[in-house]
């Protein structure tokens, strides 16, 4: 794991209900740094998060929303949250159900600004 | 999509659908084509297969020189198109995959679904005599090159 | 009024199959007892599913609750059962007016006024919608065409899936699995119509959301919200073969966006069921 991102990911994974967090290369969908609970497949998470972000970004630009700053995929068993950073990296988190999404969103937006 | 053995088709089809790969070529380490998908008309398949297996062999030699584990995957990123070259072991021996993909997908996605395809191929491979397999591979290549010549006048 | 409601309630309790539920429901509506009115309307409708007045009462209760999409469906049902039902023409006229479709509104309100010439309030409403132009001397036109869709014609039944919903033509988009627009519209910055451009990528984006949820073993996906600097969007599948996009200003509470999208999805499902 790229040690530079370790403190950032650890502060995210300390939040209640977070099952994993990672920094992903937006272009390739490859893992840059990760902190994941057992059972979460890092490469799959990275690839899908990057792919979904690309699709959503294309739609957002076409719809006039501009480049997205936060994505939230809500599913039956949890959520996938993505905060694109300006440097072609995205911050990704996987959350269980019933987590304080508002707090998590604010934390991720703050952390995404710090990604270099 | 064509394969010398039908059990390859299912996993290959799933891989192509999920990864959005433009071209997928599976071959043995001696350069014999096992299966192919995509608009391969612009490729000299025999040459691509031979070169691909050569690159994998060279990479393994280089890793040995450096006392590293053998490189399993080589990815080249181009401006409009990229490719991934990887070897994997099946009950039929070691195969090599050449995957060509564009900007509509991502390297990470290609790798994730490639790994799944390998698992599915390993599970799906039925036992069969190696002698018969080599004969089929030769027949397939002849038929493929005949079709290519007919289509593209080569 | 209280005595009326008591008496009507007693009659209804004594004979639930009587038509007194129509008067009771209306009395409860006027008294602002929305929940009770709803229960009475639904009870009556369950016994008289083909009675136009039962659907009319239910539609008015729904309109009180601002469930305009379902109210429209109910009034539409009334008109299919009874094409000259004054209440349904008034109700649908009101919904079209609210949705910013004055020609459609005028058509229905004029029919209602022709059917009930003694209703002075109705005549006033017609004149207001007509915007001061001379209307009573002109013959009643044929039904105006459905609201014009700029580029791709909607597939499926006539009408607008989002009629009555705020932003039906600027902030709500419904597409099929091939990326073809079924209804609604999307207006981008500067008032530009971006409906078809967005429609073309909406279906593939929702498919990707479903794929992500599946491959990451997160169960069935509910919705995807995309937050821009100024505007947010929520994407979901009202049915397995359609996709919906709803947008809202970023200044509004984030939770409202998903709620707004869910309401629109419900309206879309109703419209699709009728169309199919």
Q: What is the mean pLDDT of each run of 10 residues along chain A (116 residues)?
A: 80 90 95 92 96 94 91 95 90 90 90 84
Question: pTM of whole model > 0.80?
Answer: no
Q: Are strands B23-28 and B2-3 parallel, antiparallel or unpaired?
A: unpaired
Q: Number of CB pairs < 8 Å for A and B?
A: 36
pLDDT band for position C3 (50/70/90)?
low
Question: In this complex, do A64 and C194 lie within 8 Å of one another by their Cβ atoms?
Answer: yes
A22 close contact with B: CB closer than 8 A: no
Question: In this complex, do B111 and A43 lie within 8 Å of one another by their Cβ atoms?
Answer: yes
Which residue of A29, A31, A44 is in closest CB contact with B106?
Answer: A29
- Which residues of chain C make contact with A73, given a CB cutoff of 8 A? 209, 212-213, 218, 221, 223-224
What pLDDT does C157 receive? 40
What pLDDT does B125 receive? 86
Q: Nearest-CA residue of chain C relative to A50?
A: C212
Distance CA C262, CA C256 (A): 10
* Annotation: CATH topology of C2-130: 1.25.40
Span C158-215, pLDDT tens digits: 568 888 787 888 899 999 988 899 999 999 887 889 999 999 999 999 999 999 999 9
User: Distance from CA of residue C224 to its chain's centroid?
Assistant: 24
CB atoms within 10 A of CB C176: 19
CATH code, residues C171-275:
3.30.450.30
Distance CA B103, CA B87 (A): 23
Distance CA B102, CA B82 (A): 6
The torsion region of residue B132 among left (phi > 0), alpha (psi -120 to 50) and beta comes to alpha
Residues C242 and C276: beta-carbon distance below 8 Å: no
Mean pLDDT for chain B overall:
82
All structural domains of chain C with their residue ranges: 2-130, 171-275
What is each CA distance from C57 to C91, C125, C266, in whole angstroms? 11, 21, 21
In this prediction the ipTM stands at 0.94
Domains and CATH numbers, chain B: 2-149 (3.30.450.30)
Question: In this complex, do A51 and B107 lie within 8 Å of one another by their Cβ atoms?
Answer: no
Touching A (3+ Cβ pairs <8 A), the chains are: B, C
* Mean pLDDT computed over C92-111: 85
Domains and CATH numbers, chain A: 3-114 (3.30.450.30)
A46 close contact with B: CB closer than 8 A: yes
What pLDDT does C188 receive? 86
Question: In this complex, do C228 and A67 lie within 8 Å of one another by their Cβ atoms?
Answer: yes
Strand runs labelled E in chain C: 171-176, 181-186, 221-227, 231-236, 242-249
A36 close contact with C: CB closer than 8 A: no
- C251: pLDDT strictly greater than 80: no
């Amino acid at each position: 794991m790229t040690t530079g991102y370790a403190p950032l990911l650890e502060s995210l994974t300390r939040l209640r209900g977070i099952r994993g967090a990672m920094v992903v290369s937006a272009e390739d969908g490859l893992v840059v740094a990760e902190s994941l609970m057992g059972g979460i497949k890092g490469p799959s998470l990275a690839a899908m998060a990057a792919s979904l972000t690309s699709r959503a970004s294309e739609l957002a630009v076409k719809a006039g929303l501009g480049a997205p700053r936060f994505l939230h995929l809500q599913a039956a068993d949890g959520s996938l949250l993505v905060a694109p950073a300006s440097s072609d990296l995205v911050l990704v988190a996987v959350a269980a159900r019933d987590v304080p999404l508002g707090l998590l969103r604010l934390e991720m937006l703050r952390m995404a600004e710090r990604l270099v | 999509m064509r394969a010398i053995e039908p059990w390859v088709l299912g996993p290959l089809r799933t891989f192509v659908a999920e990864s959005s790969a433009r071209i997928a070529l599976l071959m043995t380490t001696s350069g014999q084509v096992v299966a192919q998908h995509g608009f391969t008309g612009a490729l000299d398949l025999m040459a691509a297969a031979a070169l691909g297996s050569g690159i994998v062999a060279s990479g393994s030699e280089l890793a040995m020189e450096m006392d590293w584990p053998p490189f399993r995957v080589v990815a080249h990123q181009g401006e409009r198109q990229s490719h991934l070259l990887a070897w994997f072991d099946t009950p039929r021996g070691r195969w090599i995959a050449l995957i060509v993909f564009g900007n509509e997908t991502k390297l990470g996605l290609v790798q994730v679904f490639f790994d799944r395809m390998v698992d599915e191929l390993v599970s799906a491979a039925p036992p069969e005599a190696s002698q018969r397999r080599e004969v089929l591979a030769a027949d397939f290549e002849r038929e493929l090159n005949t079709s290519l010549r007919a289509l593209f006048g080569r | 009024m209280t005595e009326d409601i008591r008496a009507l309630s007693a009659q209804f309790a004594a004979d639930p199959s009587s038509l007194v539920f129509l008067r009771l429901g209306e009395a409860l509506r006027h008294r602002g007892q929305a929940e009770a009115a709803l229960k009475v309307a639904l009870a009556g409708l369950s016994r008289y599913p083909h009675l136009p007045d039962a659907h009319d009462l239910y539609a008015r209760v729904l309109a009180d609750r601002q469930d305009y999409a379902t109210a429209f469906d109910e009034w539409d049902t009334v008109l299919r059962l009874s094409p000259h039902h004054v209440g349904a023409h008034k109700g649908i006229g009101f919904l079209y007016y609210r949705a910013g479709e004055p020609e459609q509104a005028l058509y229905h309100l004029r029919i209602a006024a022709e059917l009930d010439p003694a209703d002075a309030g109705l005549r006033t409403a017609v004149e207001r919608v007509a915007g001061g132009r001379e209307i009573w001397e002109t013959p009643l036109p044929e039904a105006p065409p459905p609201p014009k869709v700029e580029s791709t014609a909607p597939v499926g039944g006539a009408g607008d899936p989002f009629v009555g919903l705020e932003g039906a033509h600027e902030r709500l988009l419904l597409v099929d699995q091939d990326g073809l627009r079924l209804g609604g519209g999307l207006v981008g910055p500067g008032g530009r119509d971006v409906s078809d451009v967005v429609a073309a990528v909406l279906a593939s984006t929702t498919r990707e959301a479903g794929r992500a949820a599946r491959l990451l073993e997160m169960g069935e996906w509910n919705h995807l919200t995309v937050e821009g600097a100024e505007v947010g969007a929520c994407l979901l599948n009202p049915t397995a073969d359609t996709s919906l996009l709803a947008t809202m200003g970023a200044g509004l509470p984030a939770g409202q966006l998903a709620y707004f999208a869910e309401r629109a999805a419900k309206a879309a499902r109703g419209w699709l069921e009728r169309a199919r």
